[in-house]
């Protein structure tokens, strides 16, 4: 069984077996985050891309050598130069970690690190945890290959950006939910900043109107799989 906790923006925590996995741990400058930087504790960090609102507190969290950061090759190189323990991957590749299998998918976005360093391609994440599958889309536009991702994976929960401006907005994310065929859709990457303010009830209503389940999670909320 897995427990998934939402911490605002795109920061998702997954607890599976004995591992704590942080996806895009944006804590310090995240006005929505429900935990303080010194409360952050994990075994693994998985990054979708290098932008500051996703890379977040990675360096501080991973200064503990027991933490492993799973990221695109270029981000991984950058971290290794800082003597951070990192596992490089690239789009389309999967690897079996002790907690489960990680596969990176394409995302239609850009990617650089906060200091401007090239960070490779942005990614989405497919996580297989036992018999459950979680998809975290990272930052992305709507793209038709989401249909292929939905056909190849039986997604239990999909975390999709809905805030518009930098990523999909509500209507594109509703179409993405259809393509991905996810059992539960959780909206992320909205209301953190002015330019990504949306009415999330509109998203929930539209997802329900196509017969799907939308779970709006407030920072600190959890769900069990
Ligand atoms: Ni981004
Ligand atoms: Mn972002």
pLDDT in tens, 149-185: 999 999 999 999 999 999 999 999 999 999 999 999 9
Q: Distance (Å, rounded) from C-alpha 203 to C-alpha 30?
A: 22
Q: How far is CA 119 from the centre of its chain?
A: 16
Cα of 1 from ligand 1 centre, angstroms: 30
List of residues 6+ apart from 119 with CB closer than 8 A: 49, 50, 72, 74, 75, 78, 111, 112, 113
Cα of 52 from ligand 2 centre, angstroms: 8
Q: Are 33 and 219 in contact, with CB atoms under 8 Å apart?
A: yes
Q: Distance (Å, rounded) from C-alpha 178 to C-alpha 182?
A: 8
Angle (CA) 102 71 80, round 5°: 135
Per-residue confidence (pLDDT) for residue 98, from 0 to 100:
96
| For residues 133-152, average pLDDT | 98
Per-residue confidence (pLDDT) for residue 158, from 0 to 100:
98
Structure tokens at 97: 């970690």
Q: Distance (Å, rounded) from C-alpha 11 to C-alpha 30?
A: 9
Per-residue confidence (pLDDT) for residue 131, from 0 to 100:
96
Q: What is the pTM of this model?
A: 0.98
| For residues 58-66, average pLDDT | 95
Per-chain mean pLDDT for the chain: 98
- The separation between the first and the last C-alpha atoms of the chain, rounded to the nearest angstrom, is 6
Cα of 124 from ligand 2 centre, angstroms: 12
List of residues 6+ apart from 7 with CB closer than 8 A: 13, 25, 27, 30, 32, 33, 34, 35, 219, 220
Ligand nearest to the CA of 192: 2
Ligand nearest to the CA of 53: 2
Ligand nearest to the CA of 24: 2
Given 1.20.1070.10, 3.30.420.40, 1.10.287.130, 3.60.15.10, which CATH number is that of 2-216? Answer: 3.60.15.10
- Residue 64's pLDDT band (cuts 50, 70, 90): confident
Per-residue confidence (pLDDT) for residue 1, from 0 to 100:
87
Q: pLDDT tens for residues 69-114? A: 999 999 999 999 999 999 999 999 999 999 999 999 999 999 999 9
């Amino acid at each position: 069984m897995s427990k998934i906790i939402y911490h605002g923006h795109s920061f998702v925590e997954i607890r599976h077996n004995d591992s704590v996995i942080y996806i895009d741990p944006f804590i310090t400058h995240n006005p929505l985050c429900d935990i303080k930087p010194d409360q952050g504790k994990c075994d693994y960090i998985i990054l979708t891309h290098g932008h500051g609102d996703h890379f977040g507190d990675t360096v501080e969290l991973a200064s503990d050598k027991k933490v492993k950061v799973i990221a695109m090759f270029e981000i991984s190189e950058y971290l290794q130069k800082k003597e951070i323990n990192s596992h490089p991957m690239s789009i389309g590749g999967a690897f079996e970690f002790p907690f489960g299998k990680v596969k990176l998918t394409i995302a239609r976005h850009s990617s650089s690190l906060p200091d401007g360093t090239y960070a490779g391609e942005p990614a989405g994440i497919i996580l297989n945890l036992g018999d459950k599958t979680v998809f975290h889309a990272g930052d992305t536009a709507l793209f038709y290959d989401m249909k292929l991702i939905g056909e190849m994976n039986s997604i239990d929960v999909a975390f999709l950006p809905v805030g518009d401006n930098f990523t999909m907005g509500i209507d594109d994310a509703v179409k993405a939910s259809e393509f991905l065929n996810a059992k539960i859709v959780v909206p992320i990457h909205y209301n953190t900043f002015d330019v990504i303010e949306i009415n999330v009830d509109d998203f929930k209503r539209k997802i329900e109107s196509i017969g799907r389940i939308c779970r709006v999670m407030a920072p600190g909320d959890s769900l069990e799989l």
